[in-house]
A and B are shown apart, each in its own frame.
Chain A
Amino acid sequence: MKQQIKHLCDLRPGERGVVDYIHISGDMRRRLLDIGLVENTEVICIGESPGRDPSAYLIRGAVIAIRKKDAKSVFLKAVL
């Protein structure tokens, strides 16, 4: 793939990535921090809902659904 994956929402089911930083403020930032999306956290995308949005991610042992527009604000260091 030519385009480099940078955001959490770009992960396809089955792919895994490492969090770099969150680029958003306010409630959503706190939410994302609460569920453990801090630097170097490993995230696996495990599926999409029937409507394609939100997607489900495995984060620190819990499966959490995040909407695309919110997942866009999570930047990834690397995709494994």
Chain B
Amino acid sequence: MGLTNRAVGRGAFDIGPKILKEKESDRVIALAGNPNVGKSSVFNTLTGMNQHTGNWPGKTVATAQGRCISDKNGYVFVDLPGTYSLLAHSAEEEVARDFLCSGVPDAVVVVCDATCLTRNMNLVLQTLEISKRTVICVNLLDEAKRKRIHIDLDLLSKRLGVPVVGCVAHEKRSVQQILTALDRSFESEEQHPYQVRYPEENEMSEEQRVAALYKAAEEICDGVVKSERALRDDRDRRIDRILTGRLWGYPMMLLLLALVFWISIYGANYPSALLSDGFEWIYQKLLALFYALKIPDALRSALLDGVYRVLSWVVAVMLPPMAIFFPLFTLLEDVGYLPRVAYNLDRPFQKCNACGKQALTMCMGFGCNAAGVVGCRIIDSPRERMLAILTNAFVPCNGRFPTLITLITLFFVGAVGGFFSSVLSAFLLLLLIVLAVGMTFGVTRLLSATLLRGTPSAFTLELPPYRRPRILHILVTSVRERTLFVLLRAIAVAAPAGLLIWLLANLTLGGESLLSHAADFLDPFARLMGLDGVILIAFVLAFPANEILLPIILMAYLSAGSLVEVGELGTLKSLLLENGWTPITAICTAVFCLFHFPCSTTLLTVRRETASWRWTAFAAILPTLVGVLCCMAINAVYRLLF
């Protein structure tokens, strides 16, 4: 879900990966398996890399690779997207099949879910048909144990004719066994695996093939899997009755979302205040230092009021809610709640002629729109994938939440902090999100009736068992993936942007700064939208990263007037009021923040996923148009009424 290097950067590649061997003798091992069996976890434990893992099918949309060494060999593991079979038909399943059939891997490790081994056998048997060397890894043994399912690994190995390893994905020791098994299999003779006996007909229909595979799977698992069925899944069913029930399904969804928002807002207050005090203290020290060193005024102002102010703003105000929101959201993902959201929301998406999995990619969008766009690969039909890609930016990403929270807090809640005001903030934020989701439905419906006409395609959605979240793992990865990432991005983007905006505000042309020229130029149009020229400019300048929208607005206002201490929200509000902000300005800014062109990273990702600049342009224009129209409508109604 997170925007990480892995999700959108160098690490993410498509079909035909280049294998990065460190030594010529390295062996290439493909990691295959059904969706959501913990392949990515096995991969992470093996290679120590941090492939983002979560509890829903289709997590790995691009292949990833990592190297590790055993006592005897070096192995390059390639983590493939999950597939149910090799008669693949969706884009991601194709990636897996093509790689397995390419002859590149020296061996295949098939990861299976111990809690539904029979179904996993389908892929195992098909892999045995094409792979030279195979090792079966029966994962999630801990979960199977809880569900009182016992698996006879030795018998399974004997029947399949290949090594079988039992494992609990995040335990290093059990994953180590995979390496041992691989070492041993490379030392021994060729494998003679079990082969499925197909009916002796020349033209075999797909159904006969699948039926034969399942029959074989049942024969193999008979006696291998012993379960006390009655106890199975009972707990999951009870939870599902509440979380996806007719009465409670939707209210619980809103409640959970509101709770996540509330914790983010309430929890962020304290670290935010602490950080901004700290930054203010450093600012004073730096100021003194700059004076002492007799650094020229212009340079001092550029560095301190430009770069430093923007940077410290992003860190102090934007980072804490993000740092709290992200792990909470990952928690819901890890538990297995996201597929339930897709299940609950499928009906409305169906009405929009779209795929129910769009709810999943929409949820990913809350984390990061770029990651959401990449995630759209889990949707098979090109038409429905395009719908999901184009509408992904309609839900606010992690980078936009803090802006919304700040606007709400300043203009509609009043005093900062306190239990009641944070509840009110969370509620108002929830309203905005409901608006965003509603707009997603509306635009999807509109597109599927006009540009992207068609009927819904094949859709099945697996609802994985609820899993106990790995809290520590979530915390560690979200600090590493998200918090550090935002910090680095703040330095990489916010600092130069701070400098640029300072230059714009301080370089003059005919007695007026460049910024005010630009702002004056946009002002009449911006006024129609209930904004002002500066706000609109800020949206344009925040194109590389939405996090820096508010700091840019502040910088612009500050450079025009006298310097005010910006550490606290109270002084911030008075600054905005001085510059003519009203509650309606705040509403319009929030709405435009929801619906405007996605950030540059997201657009580049759209370009990569659609392979078309036209669709990319459309992905930018569409939300902007919606935003402009919404703001104009809000402003017009307000003017009419008051």
Contact = CB atoms under 8 A, between A and B. Distances in A.
Contact of A27 (B211, B247, B350, B457): B457
B85 A34 contact: yes
B207 A33 contact: yes
Interface string B447-460: 00000000011111
A5 interface: no
Interface in A5-55: 22, 26-36, 38-39, 41, 46-54
B459 A67 contact: yes
A33 B245 contact: no
Q: Which interface residue of A54, A59, A61, A63 has the most chain B CB atoms within 10 A? A: A61
Given A27-B89, A36-B214, A70 B458 contact: yes
Contact of A65 (B85, B116, B463): B463
Interface residues of B, number: 45
Contacts of B122: 34, 36
A8 to B, nearest CB: 12
Given A36-B214, A49-B244, A54 B346 contact: yes
A56 interface: yes
B244 A50 contact: yes
Q: Determine chain A's interface SS by DSSP, over half rule.
A: mixed
Contacts of B206: 29-30, 33
A58 to B, nearest CB: 7
Contact of A47 (B244, B381, B460, B461): B244
Contacts of B118: 60-61
A50 B463 contact: no
Interface stretch (B233-241, B468-476, B585-593): B233-241
A62 interface: yes
B246 interface: yes
Contacts of B350: 53, 67
Max chain A Cβ within 10 angstroms of own Cβ: one of B87, B236, B459: B459
Given A36-B122, A58-B233, A53 B347 contact: yes
B267 interface: no
B255 to A, nearest CB: 14
14 contacts: A27-B457, A30-B458, A31-B89, A31-B459, A35-B462, A47-B244, A49-B347, A54-B346, A56-B463, A60-B118, A64-B461, A65-B463, A67-B356, A70-B460
Q: Which 3 A-B pairs have the closest CB atoms?
A: A51-B347, A61-B116, A50-B249
